[in-house]
Each structure stands twice: as C-alpha cells, then as structure tokens.
C-alpha cells in the first residue's frame, strides 16, 4: 500500500491497532491527512426549501448561511438518500452502505458492529472526533451506534425523549437543537488545532410539527388563517400537526394561502437552523480553522409537503421531495459557486470523506467518491442510484428518468394513514422524466396496463435500463431479501410494533420500529387500477 501523508501527531497504539483491523493493512497504519471534516446535517430538510435550491417564496431567503456556503463551494442538484427516514438514512451515511445491506430499514434498528462508521475510521487515523445529534439518545440501545468513534458526544434529546406526553416532546425540539449547538461549539473551542478534527452535527427542529422557535415565525401569515396555524409557542404547537393531518385525511380544497402558511412555518424552522449553522461556522472562523476544513451540509431526508397523496411528511414516500436532499461541500482547493447535476447518494459522501482524509476505501463500501466530481473532472459518479421503502417498494434513477417499482401493489400506511381506512397510494410501476418533472407529478407509465409493465420488455425504452439495473441490484447476494431486525429480537420487535399501534393517538409514530405489516397489498398488480 502506498504511503499517505503524515499528520502532525502520532496515533495512539490502540487506534493504530483498530485501523489495522478496519482496513486490513499489513504494512503499517495510514494516518489521516491534516484536514478537518465538519458535517452539518439537518433532519427533514427538503432541498428546494433552501434559497440555494430555488426557494423564492419570501422577500428573503430562509437559508442565507447555507446559500453562502454554496457560493463558496460545490452544490449537488440531485443528491439523494436511499431511504426517506432518519435512522436508515444516517446509517447509510455513516457506513457507506444501503439500508438493504445493513438491515437498518426503520427507526429503532441498530447499525450492527460489523458495519464500521467513517467516524471510527477517522478516530483510528488520528482525528479528534465529536458527534452531536439532537434526536439520538446517547445511552439508548438502538440509537447509540451513531456515537461510535466519537471522542466527545452529546445527544440533544437525552433524558427528554422518554417523556411520552406529546406536548413536552414537541416543545423540546428547539431545546434539543440548542443543546447540540452548544456542545458542537464547545468541541470546536477545545480542539487542539495542531491536530485534525472531525465533527458530525445533526439538528432536528425542521421536523414536524413545523413549530418555529421564538422569533422565527416569519413567513406566510395572512388575515383569516386557521387558528391552528397562527402559531404560538407551547402545547398549541401540536395543533399544527393535527391541522395538517386533517388536510391529508380529507378531500377539502386547500387554499393557496393556507398551503403557503404551512410552508412558511416549515421555513421558519429552516431559518432557525440556518442561524445555528452560522454560529458554528463563526466558531470555526474564530479558532482559525475555516480554510483547513471541508464543510458538508446535507440532510437525512426531505418532506412531501403536499406533492403526493395530500401528504406532508416523509415516512410513506419514495419520491424526490423526500429522498432528494441538499448537498453542499466547501473546503480547501474546491471550486467556488459550482453546480453538479449528476445523481449522487449520501453514501457517496462517506467515500468522499475517506478520500479527503487520505484513508483507503473499505472493500465493502457501496458509495463512490465525489472528489473528481467536486473538481469537475467527471460528470458521472454512479450510473444508477437506488432508493427503497423497507423491502417492498424500490426506485431507480439515472438522473434523467426515474422508475418506481411496487410489484405487490403495496399501499403504505404510516401516519396519519395508519389507523384509518385510507392509505398512501403508489402504483405498481411508475416512471418520470426528471428533466421536466423533478417532483414526479406526471407518471408516464400510467398510460400503460400494469400487466404490460411487469416485464422489462413491456417498459418504454427509457425505463428498461432502470428496471434491469434495479433487478440486478436486488439480486446482489449482499442484499437481504426479508425485513430484518438488527439488534432486536423478533419477539421484542413484535412487542414494540404492538406498542406503536397503541400509541398512534399520541402522535408517537415514527419513534419505534414498525414491521412490514404496516402496509396493505392487493397482491399481484391488477390489469387496471
């Protein structure tokens, strides 16, 4: 193995032994390069709600800090996550592997120890490491895997998320983010600047119920708006969620002003989080490490916001409003104000971190480095990107077209659909021209009989390669074929699922694992739908 640049310090013996195990090195342990890595992640941040990605709904952009980072570095216009849910997506980012590979398909599942994270590798290579996550408890089984490899860690919700009444849980979101912000800034304040560091910071307040903290309810107010959307701090915040759920489960007309107000509440949380990012970057400037730091801004998933099925959230969706996320990378030597249009996945960020830090790529990683794309040396990272909804619904894209594959005609039933006679509808086979329909509003394949589309030969020519690539991906022996429960015994998983059903009325859905039973299926696709 070729030698890699040495940093300004020696690795501890224990760290050296770990990295030898991780990379299979036999002729010494590579030290990481003297560059810092700062990953700023925002829960539920849909890309097109940022000014950088085209949000011009208001007089000012709701995201000036992130917009400015885009002007400093490279913005990816088609960044995707493989699963539109927090823990599967973050596990993919940390491991560089699809959820179908690790088995982390739901919130509450563990990333098993066999899947080494980028933070573990950076720590073993000599980086000072900090992990600060608003909605992962440090000591809770099923959540604490995210802190592996962290010299310093802090969970914003630790000691709070066990409060099961919904009002304290929801009000606490901004408090959780405040805890994480302070911990991340304190970490930067105390790092030894003679040594490289890596920090992952994840905020949560953009997540439903779209309840901006004090001073950030700035957008979309209008005379005569529904009382639930007037927004005050405190328990009435839950009324926002109830109001949105009522829209989803009804068929009433929704005036444009009302929709804009809901978007405005969401964007208020975006602005609050953007300001938190600004304060972290200010600390990076203060310690003199900005020019030596690769700054990565991304999200675990987006939000539907009424694009399909009158749905506002993310748990049921495989569409771009949910699996499309911002990805901005700025740092030493990178071009300024550059845009990249090829499809990439958050797992590619993992591979990129290894390249930037001078570490070898693990043999089992499924991500591809973005370094050549960052510098404009390549216009393709991967020929196809795949997304998944458990082991039931899948999607594939080549950047121009997207194909959605639902051969069991599953109808998804996460909240607010769960517990009702309604469901989130996805047709058996869907196809979209992303160049003209990025939000997937016009299904090209709807004009075809499902029976015709069951085989690759029945698909229009532009979708055949996507289906073939998806079939090959599903046939990969490393991809499990049945829903797994990493870290949770089956009996316990079933108990948690039953508990989740009982808690539906308390708006606790999404905090516990769910089974594949939370969908209904018509079986094989009918000739007509």
Pairing mode of beta strands 36-42, 197-203: parallel
User: Which residues lie across from 411 on neighbouring strands?
Assistant: 425, 520
What is the average pLDDT value for the chain, to the nearest integer? 86
Spatial separation of the C-alpha atoms in residues 413 and 420, rounded to whole Å? 9
Decide: helix, strand or coil at residue 270: helix
Average pLDDT of the segment spanning 261-280: 98
- Nearest CA to 258 among 302, 285, 220, 294? 220
For residue 334, CA distances in Å to 47, 338, 474 come to 21, 9, 36
- Nearest CA to 518 among 404, 425, 415, 426? 415
**For the chain, how many helices (H) and strands (E)?**
14, 16
Helix axes 13-23, 118-125, angle to 10 degrees: 130
Which domains, and CATH codes, for the chain?
A: 44-289+304-330+354-380 (3.40.720.10), 386-521 (no CATH)
Q: Range with the lowest mean pLDDT among 108-112, 149-153, 175-179, 218-222?
A: 108-112
Spatial separation of the C-alpha atoms in residues 242 and 252, rounded to whole Å? 15
Percent of the chain with pLDDT over 70: 81
pLDDT at 93: 98
pLDDT in tens, 199-241: 999 999 999 999 999 899 999 999 999 999 997 655 556 789 9
pLDDT at 108: 76
How would residue 43 be classed by pLDDT, with cut points 50, 70 and 90? very high
pLDDT in tens, 445-468: 999 998 899 999 999 999 999 999
Residue 87 pLDDT greater than 70, yes or no: yes
Of residues 1 and 229, more confidence is placed in: 229
- Any alpha helices (H) in 145-204, and if so which ranges? 166-190
User: Which residues lie across from 299 on neighbouring strands?
Assistant: 42
Q: Is residue 350 within a helix (H) or strand (E), and if so which, with residue range?
A: helix 346-357
Average pLDDT of the segment spanning 70-83: 98
- DSSP conformational letter for 60: S
Its pTM stands at 0.89
pLDDT in tens, 376-431: 999 999 999 999 998 789 999 999 999 999 988 888 988 899 878 889 999 999 99
- Nearest CA to 142 among 169, 179, 110? 110
Residue 487 pLDDT greater than 70, yes or no: no
How would residue 31 be classed by pLDDT, with cut points 50, 70 and 90? confident
User: Which residues lie across from 297 on neighbouring strands?
Assistant: 40, 328
Pairing mode of beta strands 338-345, 128-133: unpaired
pLDDT in tens, 111-139: 889 999 999 999 999 999 999 999 988 87
């Amino acid at each position: 193995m070729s030698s890699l640049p040495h940093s300004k310090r020696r690795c501890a013996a224990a760290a050296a032994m770990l990295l030898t195990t991780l990379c299979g090195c036999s002729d010494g342990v590579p030290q990481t390069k003297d560059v810092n890595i700062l990953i700023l992640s925002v829960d539920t941040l849909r890309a097109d709600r940022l000014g950088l990605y085209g949000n011009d709904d208001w007089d000012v952009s709701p995201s000036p800090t992130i917009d400015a980072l885009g002007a400093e570095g490279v913005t990816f216009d088609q960044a995707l996550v493989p699963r539109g849910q927090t823990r599967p997506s973050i596990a993919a980012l940390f491991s560089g592997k699809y959820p179908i590979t690790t088995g982390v398909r739901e919130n509450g599942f563990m990333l098993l120890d066999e899947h080494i994270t980028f933070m573990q590798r950076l720590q073993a290579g000599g980086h000072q490491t900090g992990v600060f996550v608003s909605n992962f408890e440090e000591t809770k089984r099923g959540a604490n895997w995210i802190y592996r490899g962290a010299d310093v860690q802090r969970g914003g919700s630790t000691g709070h998320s066990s409060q099961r009444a919904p009002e304290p849980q929801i009000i606490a979101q901004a408090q959780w983010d405040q805890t994480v912000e302070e911990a991340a800034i304190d970490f930067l304040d105390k790092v030894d600047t003679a040594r490289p560091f890596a920090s992952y910071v994840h905020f949560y307040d953009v997540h439903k119920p779209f309840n901006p903290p004090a001073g950030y309810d700035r957008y979309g107010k209008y005379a005569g708006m529904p009382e639930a959307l007037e927004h005050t701090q405190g328990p009435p915040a839950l009324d926002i969620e109830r109001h949105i759920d009522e829209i989803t489960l009804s068929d009433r007309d929704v005036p444009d002003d009302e929709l804009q107000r809901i978007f405005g509440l969401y964007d208020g949380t975006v602005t609050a989080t953007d300001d938190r990012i600004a304060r972290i970057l200010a600390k990076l400037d203060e310690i003199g490490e900005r020019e030596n730091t690769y700054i990565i801004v991304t999200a675990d998933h987006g939000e539907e916001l009424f694009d399909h099925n009158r749905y506002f959230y993310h748990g049921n969706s495989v569409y771009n409003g949910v699996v499309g996320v911002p990805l901005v990378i700025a740092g030493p030597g990178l071009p300024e104000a550059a845009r990249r249009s090829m499809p990439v996945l958050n797992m590619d960020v993992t591979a990129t971190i290894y390249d930037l830090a001078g570490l070898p790529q693990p043999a089992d990683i499924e991500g591809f480095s973005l370094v050549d794309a960052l510098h404009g040396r390549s216009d393709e990272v991967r020929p196809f990107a795949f997304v998944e909804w458990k082991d039931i619904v899948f999607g594939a894209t080549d950047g121009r077209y997207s194909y959605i594959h639902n051969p069991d005609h599953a109808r998804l039933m996460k909240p607010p659909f769960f517990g009702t006679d309604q469901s989130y509808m996805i047709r058996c086979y869907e196809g979209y021209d992303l160049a003209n329909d990025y939000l997937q509003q016009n299904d090209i394949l709807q004009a075809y009989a499902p029976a015709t589309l069951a085989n690759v030969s029945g698909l229009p020519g532009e979708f055949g390669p996507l289906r073939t690539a998806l079939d090959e991906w599903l046939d990969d022996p490393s991809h499990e074929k049945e829903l797994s429960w990493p870290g949770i015994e089956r009996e316990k998983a079933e108990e948690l699922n039953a508990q989740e059903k009982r808690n539906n009325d308390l708006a606790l859905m999404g905090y516990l694992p769910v089974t594949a039973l939370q969908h209904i299926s018509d079986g094989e696709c009918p000739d007509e739908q």
